[in-house]
Amino acid sequence: MSAFDRLSPLLKTTIALTMMQGLSYPEAAVVLDTTEGTIAWRIHEARKQLRSALARTLQAPAREAVKPAQRAPKRAAPEAAPEPAGELNSLAMALALLAPGV
């Protein structure tokens, strides 16, 4: 599951309207029946969550590389975990989309 998919439905909807559909904050506020300030906060919160996910993704390989002998044998997971590079790419694309001034 990508970091974007883990955002709340309100955050994803706000991003879709403002960043993907090109609505201004006032226009998105009308569509979502909220205030312009709430739209701005949601964009801020989405960026914060995506940056945090990116930081965790970047740190994960480093933690594994430090203690490879202490890891327990891998068990087959019922659901395949995303490849770190794939997750990193999706996070980078999401952050680029949310970058201020774009």
Q: What is the DSSP string of 58-88?
A: HHHHHHHHH-STTSPPP---SSPPPPHHHHH
Sign of the dihedral through C-alpha 29, 30, 34, 35: positive
Q: Is the pLDDT of residue 102 over 50?
A: no
Tokens of 48: 């914060």
Contact between 90 and 3 under an 8 Å Cβ cutoff? The reply is yes
Extents of the domains making up the chain: 9-67+82-98
Nearest-5° Cα angle at 58, 74 to 64: 30
Instruction: Indicate the pTM of the whole model.
Output: 0.61
- Between these two residues, 95 and 3, which has the higher pLDDT value? 3
Q: In the predicted model, is pLDDT for residue 13 greater than 80? A: yes
Check whether 19 has a pLDDT greater than 60.
Answer: yes
- pLDDT at position 100 is 57
Q: Is residue 92 helix, strand or coil?
A: helix
Q: What is the pLDDT of residue 93?
A: 61
Structure confidence by residue, pLDDT tens digits, 27-86? 999 999 999 999 999 999 999 999 999 898 888 765 555 555 566 666 655 555 555 556
